[in-house]
Amino acid sequence: MTAILTGPNRGALEPQFFAALIKGLGLSKSDIGVREDPRQWPKLRELFTKTFKSKTRADWEAIFDGTDACCTPVLTQPELEQQGFDQRPPVTLSDSPGYALDDRAAAEKDPAVKAAMGQGPGVEGKGWEDDGIPAGKGGEEVLGQWLGWKRGKEYDVIKGGLVKKDASKL
């Protein structure tokens, strides 16, 4: 089941919106109690969870569509893509260990679009293709390669950890 995002602490904060939410959920004020009381929040979370799980996302979309309940479906990545949302990272870190998004559909339309080494899910395996750097190994080399930092100037090694030095902003 795909999620619906709402809640007393997230969306329907003002009384009229909360009333619309409660109405859509088929609940009453007596079911809710005093929603401003933090001690009630675990009970509310449980009640909302149980209630939302009682119907499909499509059912809830039909119930809340056109209301002021501050309730919206959480779309899956394929659903976002079908609607034309581009989730490509705003920057590509060209020397990072993963690949940028592999946008095959865009590449078919425009040959200039292709995946590049960088941030985000990508070409090989749709995710990071890196074993990581074990603690205490490779950090100084990465700082030198990526940022041009040198030990003693931009950072020091203290108790085995790399610590950025305070530097004047002038």
> pLDDT by residue (tens digit) across 116-154?
444 444 444 444 444 555 556 778 888 888 888 899 998
Secondary element (H or E) of residue 99: none
> For the chain, where do the domains classified as CATH 3.30.1540.10 start and end?
4-73
Does residue 25 have a pLDDT over 90?
yes
Average pLDDT over residues 32-57: 90
Average pLDDT over residues 94-121: 52
Average pLDDT over residues 99-128: 51
Average pLDDT over residues 56-85: 87
The whole-angstrom separation of Cα 60 and Cα 73 is 8
pLDDT range class, residue 54, cuts 50, 70, 90: very high
pLDDT of residue 83: 84
Type of residue at 30 = S
Cross-strand partners of 163: 156
Q: Look-up: residue for tokens 């009453």?
A: 28
What distance lies between CA 36 and its chain's CA centroid?
Answer: 27
* Listed range (1-5, 42-46, 60-64, 67-71) with the worst mean pLDDT: 1-5
Model confidence, pTM: 0.47
Average pLDDT over residues 104-120: 55
CATH number of the domain at 4-73, out of 3.30.1330.40, 3.30.1540.10, 2.40.50.100, 3.40.50.300? Answer: 3.30.1540.10
pLDDT of residue 24: 94
